[in-house]
Amino acid sequence: MSSARSIVCLGRIVCILLLSAACSSLKNPHDREADQSVVVITRKSALVDSISGKIDIFIDGRLERSLEKKEQARIIIPNGEHTMYAKSHLLQTDTVVFSAYSKLILFEVSFGLGYIKLSKTSENALAPAKQEAMDHAGSGANSAKIPIDTAIIQAADDIIDKLHPKTKTGIFNVSAGETEFTEYVIEELTVVLVNKGSLTMVDRRSLDVIQAEQDFQLNGNTSDESIISIGQMTGAETVITCSVSGSGDLRRLRIKALNVKTAEIQSLTSYNIY
């Protein structure tokens, strides 16, 4: 009798464990996303690159990524307190201690003669859930502040609605400042446009395109005609410009899509972001 009761109790325990595991697997994925932050590290270009080869990025003492010249890394980390440093074959930065709680945090690796430096340039709250993009449906100017991830998804949805699948598209940074932040927007926007909209994207790693883009930024010449001319260099059918203006709590994201042949504005969105 005692043996039978033990078997019944064991069976109940197994059922409880299985039920608990099932409930855990059904947990809203956004709850898991809320426990993470995104770190973006940009290797800043310079007129004279005194460091050749890769720069290794270490987070919490572990090698996470190696950056070539002008490369950028996007790393997802758990929320909490973290440390980071960068290292070349000869030099190492000081260790940066930072807090990450559902944030988008931008870092920059700069270098000069005999030194490299790692610094945090900005941080912003991540969207609490991707579904917020559906709650803020529509395009055009928006006065209310929304998370940066929400703005990216909204802008992408508007572009996808206006362009045909497989349209060859180039995305360009026309921000005079906040370039690292805008690069993050471009990377995330590209992912959504490719995966959701099936667009064909121009490879932004082309040195000619990057150089032309930087020349236009330095000269302050970011007119539609200038951007279209870059698009023609790459064979793009549509060019998308991204810019972030303002600072702190007064940031504004503008994303515009232009037809390369006709210069027609195919999509235009503008958001106050945080």
> Can you spell out the DSSP letters for 105-128?
EEEEEEEETTEEEEEEEEEEEPPS
Q: What is the DSSP string of 125-180?
A: EPPS-TTHHHHT---EEEEEEE-HHHHHHHHHHHHHHHS-TT-EEEEEE--SS-HH
What is the identity of the amino acid at 31?
D
What's the rounded Cα separation, in Å, for the pair 72 and 19? 43
User: Does the domain made of 32-125 have the CATH classification 2.60.40?
Assistant: yes
27 in helix, strand or coil?
coil
What's the rounded Cα separation, in Å, for the pair 65 and 107? 13
The pLDDT of residue 202 is: 87
- Quick one: which of 184, 152, 185, 190 has its CA closest to 170? 190
**Order of strands, sheet of 72-78, starting from the edge strand that comes earlier in the sequence:** 72-78, 36-43, 103-112, 115-125
| CB burial of residue 195 (10 Å; 0-12, 13-18, 19+) | exposed
The pLDDT of residue 230 is: 81
The pLDDT of residue 134 is: 38
> Which ranges in the chain are annotated with CATH 3.40.50.10610?
132-273
The percent of residues in the chain predicted with pLDDT above 90, rounded, is: 27
The pLDDT of residue 193 is: 92
The pLDDT of residue 46 is: 54
What's the rounded Cα separation, in Å, for the pair 140 and 216? 26
65 in helix, strand or coil?
strand
Residue 196: both structure tokens together: 């959701």
Neighbouring-strand partners of residue 77: 37
Per DSSP (E only), the strands in the chain are 36-43, 55-59, 62-67, 72-78, 80-87, 96-100, 103-112, 115-125, 140-146, 168-173, 200-201, 238-245, 251-259, 265-273
The pLDDT of residue 26 is: 43
What's the rounded Cα separation, in Å, for the pair 33 and 147? 14
* Alpha-carbon distances, residue 206 vs 11, 91, 95, 201 (angstroms): 62, 28, 32, 12
Angle between helices 224-234 and 207-219 (to 10 degrees): 170
CB atoms within 10 A of CB 137: 9
pLDDT tens, the chain, 274 aa long: 555 555 545 555 555 555 555 444 444 444 445 588 889 898 876 544 445 678 899 999 999 998 887 788 888 899 999 999 999 888 899 999 999 988 889 898 887 677 788 988 888 887 554 434 434 434 444 457 888 888 999 999 999 989 998 999 999 888 766 677 888 899 899 989 998 888 999 887 664 566 566 666 555 556 788 888 888 888 899 999 998 888 776 788 999 999 999 999 999 999 888 8
Residue 265: both structure tokens together: 């504005």
What's the rounded Cα separation, in Å, for the pair 210 and 224? 17
> Which ranges in the chain are annotated with CATH 2.60.40?
32-125
The pLDDT of residue 85 is: 94
* Alpha-carbon distances, residue 29 vs 34, 116, 192 (angstroms): 9, 39, 18
Fold of 132-273: Rossmann fold (3.40.50)
| CB burial of residue 227 (10 Å; 0-12, 13-18, 19+) | buried
